[in-house]
Structure 1
């Protein structure tokens, strides 16, 4: 069954927010459809598809990146829509074909007013280029087996807006999302609900109303916005960004509880800590000056973010489980090991080893680990390092007492890579990893 866009509540596409943990959390709390963040087709067409058995995900990743550009899983397959940033139909189709079998729909961003989008002829730059809109949407509709939609902003002239939506409808798209603001308007400006309502009376395809987050605090507000605009469905952005439980019919949960749910999903699916930090701070937008908020702002790893919410032990328990299966790829099976994730029983964490946080001369993680093994009459740590050909970055594995430990963050040199995996080992064992703050606290206690 193709995705049905009628009578739905939808998580809007949001840059850096719409990654897998947020999407799954929105689905858990009642969203019917979730959109990915915008992904630019120029980059996406160069991704390789990986089946990640360790996480139960399908990853699309560039050789030059240490994290996927798009990660998805079976839980959302029939409800996730990938949003593309594009200015060319053929290139958009090439990108969409990569995910055609793992997403429920493709959306084209025609509403983003940001310079990084419009300068490339994408986003709201398309609103005044109807022939290009027709070319992109027609190419996608004719070339894909899944529904195609687009998301627009309204034009200053009502007749131009209605002319535009009729053109879009004629391409065969399954639905149309309308952000009820002009290109120059921002969230502080009132949404033009009346224009959205006129659009719903002009086209026969489902219209998805967007832009009402200023008035949306709970599910009842979503329904009020639906009634006000006469839209078939409602797409929620900032309100869901601040608290994904806004989709709950029973009412939203306390944001601290939602953050804990988010972090558990992020741990389960190995979400990058930088993205986690951004998302958590957005959820804490009005409580960042609390103790937990300050801890998150200064956090340098997902573990530290979890500590701010009493989930440090949970993180350690979940992340120290051996990874028995790595990534299986359709690429050449003889591809160098440095280009593949580890497939043996290895404890993996992701962190960036920063010189400013450690005294590599006096208390380096490697020296502390060596000292610990000697004190416990174990064999000294054995380090194995590989270099990624595409960008000359390094990853190391350390073996201690028969177990292996690695840092999934690729460092710029061998020395930092070895220090990084030593940190993973020390933290996994519950030992001081030499971080300056830890040393100071130990010396003053």
Structure 2
């Protein structure tokens, strides 16, 4: 990880038929732009490389994850625990075999000599924890143990502060809270009072006929499963995270099955406003489009709010809440998989003002799943931070926001009502709420009444293409209690296949009341895009930046400095190096943490290759829907960074994290169709 990292590129990896001087691209710059192809200067264009499959070389093999059964994965975990490499964390930290409180009953190995003999070679560079107070929390298990100071292993109390802060990280799930959630014994008085006032409180089954202690409290039935479905580490971001934020989802099929197990089965609500505004979903689509039009005309029931003694925890009016000012601030959108804590730290260093965590499912949070709670983690450098949640029912969402307010440190809570993937929509969450405005209102009102923390929502323009409808609802959203609304300029059916409709976003901004902040979202990829949207609609509070930050996180620097940054390959490698350092501090510097960091680095590299350097373009700036052609960079590293092959992404990761382990495979979780012509739906 040092600055003197040698970069060696084998010319055999790229086989081209002609040199760039003799190759003639068939289209000129205007024709390339018309076909959504990035107009790279002709001197740098080249034919697509011809790659060969070589399974004996991990760096060149086409990488596809092999699906394994749950039984096989469990067997591998048990075998790993029995191996000498799976050393007890307490022993590794202290270097003392007697430091483990479980002694011989510990499920991990205490054989330090065997561990040292089998441990992989240390990586080049410095331990990422050297700059923090106290010793490295991974001791001899750290892959940079050779750089530890003499006698550094020992107590790690200086790394964990009051049990609530680790290496600058907040919102760690406490064990006592998790146990209450596992046993369904967590109480939600504010949420229950809010639901009761709105007439939305369901009557749960009582244990005994004469038991009146429950007060009709709704308890979400959890299965107690906290292994996190492949969680890399307890209370850390999992490799198979169930985070389907609408900003990054581009092809849903590869991971829809992961989300399906974590969504609550749809139950018919008993409230008087249940499901009166739309037909049920069939195979991910609404049965009748006309029902969504009728729903706006249905009369809303009037509720007379009577404040009783047990309602003291509720705010009298939404205006009494603390408000967040989004005006002119650079907002990093919640991003699936890649929008983890290390990436947000990187964007903060590059100029982002507001950050938001990856979307977490309400049902999983209420069940105490460690992998889902990891999505709520916050770094101390994130001075204006929010979390995003997704749920289909008022009781679930209201209880979740109360739980977050009580046990997390956040500045605002965002409710996702725009997630487009089928498995979420079929359960009534995400974009499905756009077809049910009465339930949408109930979710927002119950959530806003249950907490003092500002609540925001994120929506799309509508469900069906050509049938935008948010403009008819946004005038009432201010009365629901929300602080701000983000409008993504596409419908659910459009996904990401067409440009965002910013004219409609402007229309929504002008329709909204002056007390409601409206943010725009979609296709912001340069400071010129930012300036155009702000000048076309001065009432717009700000623009949320999503995929543009994935492709080039220095977009925040460009906007603040009002310039096109012709960033060099060396500067880009330094940014990757910072990300790796943040990742090792977050996921760990032992072998497991190194490979977890590598996995998320590769996921991010599956986006960064789309960036075309400014100095190579004939037309500036690059648009987000332009597909990069095959081209040579100005140096070998820039050429490598432009490769769309996962094998080349692995080679970049090896520059920063050493050689991949034997049998390593990788396939990107999100396969982009943003550049391809796709049918809606």
RMSD over aligned Cα atoms: 3.2
The residue number in structure 2 matching 1:72 is 378
Cα shift at 1:188: 4.0
**3-state DSSP of counterpart to 1:256:** helix
Q: CA deviation at 1:208?
A: 0.5
Which range is displaced more, 267-276 or 174-183? 267-276
1:161 positional shift: 2.5
**How far apart are the structure 2 equivalents of 1:68 and 1:298?**
29
Is the counterpart of residue 224 in structure 1 residue 224 in structure 2?
A: no
Structure 1 position 198, deviation (Å): 1.5
Contact 2:420 2:495 (8 Å CA) reproduced = no
CA distance in structure 1 between the partners assigned to 2:374 and 2:469 by the alignment? 39
* Residue 297 (structure 2) pairs with residue 297 (structure 1): no
Q: Give SS of 2:469's match.
A: helix
Residue 177 (structure 1) shift:
0.2
Where does residue 88 of structure 1 map in the other structure? 393
Aligned to 1:363: none
Question: Which of residues 130, 140, 157 is equivalent to 2:437?
Answer: 130
Q: Give structure 2 stretches of 5+ with no counterpart.
A: 1-321, 588-592, 613-627, 631-638, 665-681
2:404 pairs, out of 74, 91, 99, with 99
Instruction: Give yes or no for the alignment of 1:197 onto 2:546.
Output: no
Post-superposition Cα deviations, 1:294-335, rounded to whole Å, max 9, x if no partner, equal 79935999xx76433xx348xx9xxxxxxxxxxxxxxxxxxx
Contact kept? 1:281, 1:293, Cα under 8 Å: no
Question: Matched residue of 1:269: which SS?
Answer: helix
Shift of 1:144: 1.3
Task: Say whether 1:266 aligns with 2:583.
Answer: yes
**Alignment-derived partner of residue 367 in structure 1:** none
Which ranges in structure 1 are unaligned for 5 or more consecutive residues?
49-60, 317-350, 358-445
Alpha-carbon distance, 1:80 to partner? 1.5
Cα pair 1:277 1:296 within 8 Å, conserved: no
Aligned residues of 2:393 and 2:439 also touching (Cα < 8 A): yes
Tell me if the contact between 1:208 and 1:232 (Cα under 8 Å) persists in the aligned partners. Answer: yes
2:607 to 272, 282, 286: 282
Report the structure number with the largest CA radius of gyration.
2
Give the structure 2 partner of residue 208 of structure 1.
519
> For residues 427 and 366 of structure 2, what CA distance do their matches in structure 1 show?
16
**Which position in structure 2 is the counterpart of 1:114?**
421
Q: How many residues align?
A: 297
CA contact (8 A) 1:3 1:147 kept: yes
Conserved? CA contact 2:461–2:489, under 8 Å: yes
How far residue 28 of structure 1 moved from its aligned partner, in angstroms, is 1.6
3-state secondary structure, aligned to 2:325:
coil
**Matched-pair contact (CA < 8 Å) for 2:609–2:644:** no
**Alpha-carbon distance, 1:93 to partner:** 2.7
Describe the shift of the 1:157–1:242 C-alpha distance in structure 2 as closer, same or farther (beyond 3 A).
Answer: closer
Report the equivalent of 1:391. none
Answering whether residue 484 of structure 2 is matched by residue 175 of structure 1, we say yes
Partner of 1:412: none
| Cα distance between partner residues in 2 of 1:148 and 1:91 | 15
Q: Quick one: distance in 1 between partners of 2:645 and 2:581? A: 16
Which stretch shifts more, 31-40 or 187-196?
A: 187-196
Q: Which moved more, 1:89-98 or 1:10-19?
A: 89-98
Deviation at 1:90, TM superposition (A): 2.1
Shift of 1:149: 0.6
Residue 46 to residue 300, structure 1, CA distance change in 2 (3 Å): farther
Under a length normalisation based on structure 1, what TM-score does the superposition of the two structures give?
0.60
Q: Which has the higher helix share?
A: 1
Contact in 1 for aligned 2:640/2:648 (Cα 8 Å): no
Question: Match of 1:322?
Answer: none
Q: Which residue of 1 aligns with 2:254?
A: none
* Contact 1:154 1:180 (8 Å CA) reproduced: yes
Post-superposition offset of 1:96: 2.5
1:334-361 per-position Cα deviation (integer Å, ceiling 9, x unaligned)? xxxxxxxxxxxxxxxxx9x77x46xxxx
- 8 Å CA contact 2:340–2:375 kept in 1: the answer is no
Aligned to 2:360: 39
